Structure 1
Amino acid sequence: MKHPSPWPGKIVALLRAGNPAAAIAQIRVAPSVKELRALQKAMADATLAGRWPDVDMAIAESLAALSAPRLHRSP
């Protein structure tokens, strides 16, 4: 059984610590769409969604970039 990634929890911890700039930097280099979706869920569960519009915009932009068929990050 595969364990969930610790990445979303680390980003939520950055946001709770009051460091949205560091969170945005990490979101821009997100490992995968799956991780970003997990981050969105974790933020909703922690009632942090919508608190930082810049963070929400960075998530949306990263999702769009990673979902595009021609844009792939190397492993």
Structure 2
Amino acid sequence: MAVLRAGNPAAAIAQIKVAPSVRDLRALEKALAAARLNGKWRDVDLAITESLEALSAPRLHRSP
């Protein structure tokens, strides 16, 4: 959230792509919704969705 608020969505996307767990991504989604920022950055929303899909796939799951 801090990176997005600072105005650097590219850095936020880079961090989203290396998110360690689905729980972290869900928390980010909830924080964006609470701050009414969801939908403001399409690329960020897309990166969250793609990362959630990748982490949810059993063969691509990363251990912590």
Query: TM-score under structure 1 normalisation?
Result: 0.82
Q: Which residue is 1:6 aligned to?
A: none
Identity %, equivalent residues = 77
Structure with higher helix content:
2
Q: Which residue is 2:14 aligned to?
A: 25
> Hey, which bits of structure 1, 4+ residues long, moved more than 6 A?
none
Structure 2 unpaired stretches of 5+: none
Paired letter, 2:24: E
Paired letter, 1:26: Q
- Tell which has more relative contact order, 1 or 2 (C-alpha 8 A, sep 6+): 2
Number of residue pairs the alignment of both structures matches? 64
Deviation string 1:15-66 (CA, Å, 9 cap, x unpaired) is 0100000000000000100000000000001111000000000000000000
Shift of the alpha carbon at 1:74?
A: 3.8
Structure 1 unpaired stretches of 5+: 1-11
